[in-house]
Amino acid sequence: MRRSHTRTLAFIAVAAALTGACAAAPAGAHGSTVPQTRPHPGRTEAKVPVAVGYGGAVASVDADASAAGIAVLQAGGNAVDAAVATAAALGVTEPYSAGIGGGGYFVYYDARQRRVYTVDGRETAPDSADEHLFQENGVPVPFAEAVTSGLGVGVPGTAATWDTALDAWGSRSLRKLLEPAERLARDGFTVDATFRAQTEANQDRFRDFPDTARLFLPGGNLPAVGSTFKNPDLADTYDEIGRKGVGALYRGRIAQDIVRTVRRPPVDPDATRKVRAGDLTPDDLDGYDTLVQSPTRVNYEGLDVYGMAPSSSGGTTVGEALNILERTDIGALDDAEYLHRFIEASRIAFADRGRWVGDPAFEDVPTRGLLSQRFADSRACLIKDDAVLTSPLAPGDPDDPADCATRGAAAPTTYEGENTTHLTVADRWGNVVAYTLTIEQTGGSGITVPGRGFLLNNELTDFSFAPASPAVHDPNLPGPGKRPRSSMSPTIVLRDGRPVLAVGSPGGATIITTVLQTLLGRLDRGLPLVEAIAAPRASQRNQTTTELEPELWNGPLRTRLQALGHRFRLNPEIGAATGVERLPDGRWLAAAEKTRRGGGSAMVVRPSGSR
């Protein structure tokens, strides 16, 4: 597999405050056995949203996946090893959110070097793609038709991300790390209400693809809560990748199956759905590269906040919003004042994201300018205590900041599927991983690769289908080999070069506001990490209305904010975050959702009291 390892990361330079991290686990210990995590077919681990202890931590949306990562840490593997094992297990238990048919972004803190690295494993468009990819006769293809098609499928990057991360920082072989997920797929896991509900929401399109229906609608029926769901085809696929390496997915028989499926989607002959073919080729898969590149970095209240640089907009948008709020004492505000400032900072940062952020291999993305405090200050002066900005708000100019100035026309926020997943891992040496991965919307394209047991992504629908305005350049139009802009925001926070916490979330474009609100809740509002994750959310993305979860929608704060001019719409659930935090005494705290998506799973190697 060809890769681009860009070693241009800056050293972290600030003075120490938390417990020091020891040297990282040595690489090259391939061959160590990973313990079996599922001795009983159909058994599902119990979900607990917070855990504290020693030896490392894992937080994900799924208990079986978290257990797979913990087993790796118990066997002496490091955070990178555990992250790969957890992600592979999520490909089994969360197949509508992630898997080897998709891609993602991997942020890694190396305790030995005290440096943060990132891997861009975002899907890419075929080499034949141009800005008219989603247009027919000059008219954009209907979005609902684009998402369920071969046209929306990008070259998957997840397996390549695992390969890159393990090659650079891992201590176990991919084959060993896939074994828990392979067993999980073969033995099965217990269906919960969330899995059934997600299947039900997709059943109409799943039925139009025989291989998808056969896998996810056994006997033509929705999977029953409490039943055991098995995926032997995925188990065999994991086994093949483990034996042959990830090249099997990019150049071998799996690659051939992917190309065939995209170019001739296997639709039920009786289906009435219009399913367009894509133009993915063997060369597109063979030519795929992950990118190891510099993270974004901002200093917020003496902390270094690292995120994912473009092609993701997560690092620049979270970073800009933090910079906008840097001059405000967020902790001293009452709840309404805080939410007002948070909403307005999000609105402004999204206005700038829409105009400036795209794939830097194709676009001149002013990343440094977007993250400069000078630019943030020029935008922060737009915020008023007694008034609300009007959306869509026009962007500023990061190359020539002027106080309260805007430039050109506003760029709307494109739709992004919300059913991504995020995992966070730390190990006993102090290494940390924040990893967000996806197949785009719930169920991806809806197309299962025949005989392979995994769904293909529809990530290319994250591109703009047409320019938002003929007068303004759109940096997110499709192009050959181009990565669509993403909102994924895996984030690691350091103080004096040592980890404080790491967080991330699924949720499409709401990922950015979820991560930002979680950071503010923990760092400024004094909430424990699990409570910062559980807090009711708002999400403003340079739109005319701000989304609110029910607790805010039904509470008194909405009335106070409406009096300022805010307009709202209800969103039943925003995001599903996970995180880890290093406590001053050296313990790790893992945290996940209490209720969203059925609750998440936080685990540590040795709980407090069992040291």
DSSP 405: -
Amino acid at 271: A
Query: How far, in Å, CA of 306 to CA of 319, rounded?
Result: 8
According to DSSP, the residues that pair with 570 across neighbouring strands are 548
DSSP state of 380: H
Q: Report the C-alpha gap between 428 and 309 in whole angstroms.
A: 27
Instruction: Determine the length of the chain.
Output: 611
Q: Give the CA distances from residue 528 to residues 380, 427, 580, in Å, rounded to whole numbers and listed in that order.
A: 28, 21, 11
Lookup: tokens for 119: 């891997």
Task: Return d(Cα 13, Cα 17) in angstroms, integer.
Answer: 13
Residue type for position 110 = D
**Burial 469-503, CB ≥16 within 10 A → b, else e:** eeebbbbbbbbebbbbbbbbbbbbbbbbbbbbbbb
Is residue 605 within 8 A of residue 54, CB to CB? The reply is yes
Residue type, position 527, single letter? L
**AA letter at 458:** N
Catalytic positions, please? 420
Cβ atoms 352, 398 nearer than 8 A: yes
Comparing CA positions, the residue from 609, 605, 610, 607 lying closest to residue 55 is 605
**Contacts (Cβ under 8 Å, ≥6 apart) of 204:** none
Tell me if 595 sits within 8 A of 535, measured CB to CB: no
Q: At what angle do helices 373-380 and 335-356 cross, to 10 degrees?
A: 120
The rounded radius of gyration (Å) of the Cα atoms in the chain is 22
Name the helix (H) or strand (E) containing 299. strand 296-300
Nearest Cα residue to 163 out of 251, 67, 65, 35: 251
Amino acid at 301: E
Distance CA 317, CA 485 (A): 12
Confirm if 493 and 499 have CB atoms less than 8 A apart: yes
What is the rounded distance in angstroms from the CA atom of residue 82 to the CA atom of residue 284? Answer: 29
Distance CA 209, CA 181 (A): 25
Please give the backbone phi and psi of residue 564, each rounded to the nearest 5 degrees, phi first: -80, -15
